[in-house]
Amino acid sequence: MSCKEFEICRNTVTAYLISKKEFTYDELMNRILDNGGVFRISNTRNLHQYMEDFERKGMLTYSPAEGKYTNHMYESFQSKK
């Protein structure tokens, strides 16, 4: 794996945080693959760990019942457009 694939993963997550109020983990994973990325942001951090970081900081919440993330930063990003 190269840094490029890691960067694609990070950039795809960032794009979702800017543009989506709700999304599923599967949607995110499919987009990362479509973009040519992998499910890692570095050699030591995978996508799941990265998403947990956002949850811990209160930026995202995950509802297992709905299978969706809710993005608490969405309105903030939209107001800056």
Query: What is the CATH number for 38?
Result: 1.10.10
DSSP state of 28: H
Q: Coil, helix or strand for 60?
A: strand
Entry pTM: 0.88
If you average pLDDT over residues 4-18, what whole number do you get?
95
Q: Domains in the chain: how many in total? A: 1
Nearest to 21 by CA among 79, 69, 80, 81: 69
Range of the domain at 29: 3-79
| Pairing label, strands 68-71, 60-63 | antiparallel
pLDDT digits (tens, 9 = 90+) for 17-48: 999 999 999 999 999 999 999 999 999 999 99
User: Are the beta carbons of 56 and 8 closer than 8 angstroms?
Assistant: no
